[in-house]
Amino acid sequence: MEELLSPLTRNLRSHGELSAAECARIEEAAARSISTVGERRDIIREGEVPSTIKIVLDGWVARYKQLPDGRRQILSLMIPGDICDANAFILERMDHSLGALTAVQFARIERTEFEALMAGSPAITRALWRSELVTASIQREWTASVGQRQALERIAHLFCEMHTRMKGIGLAPRDTCEFPLTQADIGEATGLTPVHVNRMLQALRKDGLIELRSKRLQVLDIERLRERALFDPSYLHI
Amino acid sequence: MEELLSPLTRNLRSHGELSAAECARIEEAAARSISTVGERRDIIREGEVPSTIKIVLDGWVARYKQLPDGRRQILSLMIPGDICDANAFILERMDHSLGALTAVQFARIERTEFEALMAGSPAITRALWRSELVTASIQREWTASVGQRQALERIAHLFCEMHTRMKGIGLAPRDTCEFPLTQADIGEATGLTPVHVNRMLQALRKDGLIELRSKRLQVLDIERLRERALFDPSYLHI
DNA sequence: CGTACGTTTGACGTCCTTCAAGTTGGGTGG
DNA sequence: CCACCCAACTTGAAGGACGTCAAACGTACG
């Protein structure tokens, strides 16, 4: 029956014990204003002032940043259930952008409503904090990954992480999941050029670790993929 | 008279309007248990269960992570006034380590006390959230930096950031501040080898941008250093 | 059926690493 | 206070991982 839970509830539940009533309150708040954006469109851009927090309900979102000269870095990936920037309005201006990789459906929660949710329930507050702390932990792992891992390890690590997270929300049956990044996107997420990403992917394929075709990823040998990636899932705190 | 404020109050004040009484409550909580660690000693290690949150009062702390094979990445640097991991206990286990770069003095606040502080004052809660959000923003910038900037830009960016932050807490008079990282440390923070760090430092020196000797950094030409670094301070949200 | 975007391939260049050997300088003990 | 010592810094030469450029190929979609 777990499949019937919304990704949001599923995510928050994993971040702390929430009563049915508390889940219902969040779902209700989220259901009040649902938006959609098309593939490859921006949801919000660096420098803008956010008025709502956003929760991904369906599709993949990339958090990214551009250097003054145009180089782009994808900072993290958000999948259904992920809260984009809890309390973003506390900082006034966005220091990064959010772009939809696929067609995306997301909930928008107003500041006042969001604050009421937190004020009304310590359990919800705690779940939101936990979600924020896990996001921070993932960001740290990305810093470490780009700083220390080699190209092949970095790409393998990205696959391990997304596979594990998708599995966590029930979206990776038979170790297969959506993976809507182009090779250029993978490059921007890992700090590599598309050409080099291509060659590393071929190596991973030849080793029988993954398949990646038409935006679907299949992990063929998790154990060996994790080894190649030096992947230790504890940073995901699941 | 600002110089008389403790770094902690100074930091939190920058994250929101706090009344004198609120500042006093925080100072009092922090003053209750003050510890010291020697240079190059760890404060807490990956895998351990934290029982208090830590606030740097004096000295520099590095947050770092090791890959299974020993490669080390410094994830961020903490200076006086910085809260190391607000709500760290929500995640149970540390997913990274904290190491003292210098002799360090820090406050430890118990979980119950920390929660009481937040419960007792919305302004304090907000200031803590803000501080956490800025930390997250800095982490994102580091990911982007390691992913997209060239070696020289990366190192220059690190100098810009630390110079700006030190200035923000009044510890960079005449554009000079403590900078207790060895060249090997700079390498671990930027994902470079010590040898290459050395060569890039020479380039920065030859260009008259900085001086760096015996753990002190002097910024000679901020404008040009910022250009070389592609540094835009807005991510610091000051 | 054509067009556009994503992927693949090859040749070549460069940024950064590796290895190995000095040199400097701050701290300590005699 | 000087001599020693170790860590940190510096230098050079050579190699490798990854980038750049340019072209061809595949494939989804209008």
In the structure, how far is the CA atom of residue A180 from the C1' atom of nucleotide D30, in angstroms? 22
CA atoms of B166 and B123, how far apart (whole Å): 25
Give the tens place of pLDDT for each residue, B29-45. 999 999 999 999 999 99
Check CB contact under 8 Å for A142 and B144: no
Identify whether the C-beta of residue A219 lies closer than 8 Å to the C-beta of residue A205.
no
pLDDT in tens, chain A (238 residues): 344 578 888 888 887 788 888 988 999 999 999 999 999 999 999 999 999 999 999 999 999 999 999 899 999 999 999 999 888 899 999 999 999 999 999 999 999 999 999 999 999 999 999 999 999 999 999 999 999 999 999 999 999 999 999 999 999 999 999 999 999 999 999 999 999 999 999 999 999 999 999 899 999 999 999 999 999 999 999 8
- Which pLDDT band holds residue B4 (cuts at 50, 70, 90)? low
Q: Order across the sheet with A61-66: list the strands.
A: A42-44, A97-100, A61-66, A72-78
- Which pLDDT band holds residue B110 (cuts at 50, 70, 90)? very high
In the structure, how far is the CA atom of residue B196 from the C1' atom of nucleotide C17, in angstroms? 8
Compute the nearest-CA separation of A134 from chain B (Å).
Answer: 8
Residues of chain A with C-beta less than 8 angstroms from the C-beta of B140: 63, 65, 75-76, 95-96, 139
The answer to whether B114 faces chain A, any CB pair under 8 Å, is no
- Burial call B196-225: b when 16+ CB within 10 Å, e when fewer: ebeebbeebeeeebbebeeeebebeebeeb
The residues, ordered by sequence, that sit 6+ positions from A229 with a Cβ below 8 Å of its Cβ are A149, A153, A156, A157, A159, A160
Give the tens place of pLDDT for each residue, B148-203. 999 999 999 999 999 999 999 999 999 999 999 999 999 999 999 999 999 999 99
- Which pLDDT band holds residue B2 (cuts at 50, 70, 90)? very low
Give the tens place of pLDDT for each residue, B205-232. 999 999 999 899 999 999 999 999 999 9
- Lowest average pLDDT, out of A142-146, B88-92, B103-107, goes to B88-92
Those nucleotides of strand C lying less than 7 Å from any protein Cβ are 5-11, 15-20, 25-26
Residue of chain A minimizing CA distance to B237: A91
- Identify the pLDDT of residue B87: 84
CA distances from A53 to A32, A107, A122, A170 (A): 13, 8, 19, 24
In the structure, how far is the CA atom of residue A194 from the C1' atom of nucleotide C3, in angstroms? 22
The answer to whether A130 faces chain B, any CB pair under 8 Å, is yes
Helix (H, G, I), strand (E, B) or coil at B62: strand
Those nucleotides of strand D lying less than 7 Å from any protein Cβ are 7-13, 17-22, 28
Footprint of strand D on the protein (CB under 7 A): A 150-152, 191-193, 195-196, 214; B 182-184, 194-195, 198-199, 201-202
CA atoms of A204 and B64, how far apart (whole Å): 29
- Identify the pLDDT of residue B217: 97
CA atoms of A11 and A16, how far apart (whole Å): 9
Dihedral angle sign, alpha carbons of residues B90, A127, B12, A49: positive
Footprint of strand C on the protein (CB under 7 A): A 182-184, 194-195, 198-199, 201-202; B 150-152, 191-193, 195-196, 199, 213-214
Check CB contact under 8 Å for A87 and B149: no
> Which residue type does B172 have?
A
Tokens of B39: 């240079």
Residues of chain A with C-beta less than 8 angstroms from the C-beta of B142: 143
- Identify the pLDDT of residue B8: 83
Give percent helix, percent strand, percent coil of chain B, each to the nearest 5: 50, 20, 30
Nearest to B75 among A73, A143, A237 (CB): A143
Q: Which residue has the higher pLDDT, A135 or B8?
A: A135
A150: the nucleotide nearest its CA (via C1') is D17
Check CB contact under 8 Å for A146 and B143: yes
The answer to whether B137 faces chain A, any CB pair under 8 Å, is yes
- Identify the pLDDT of residue B3: 47
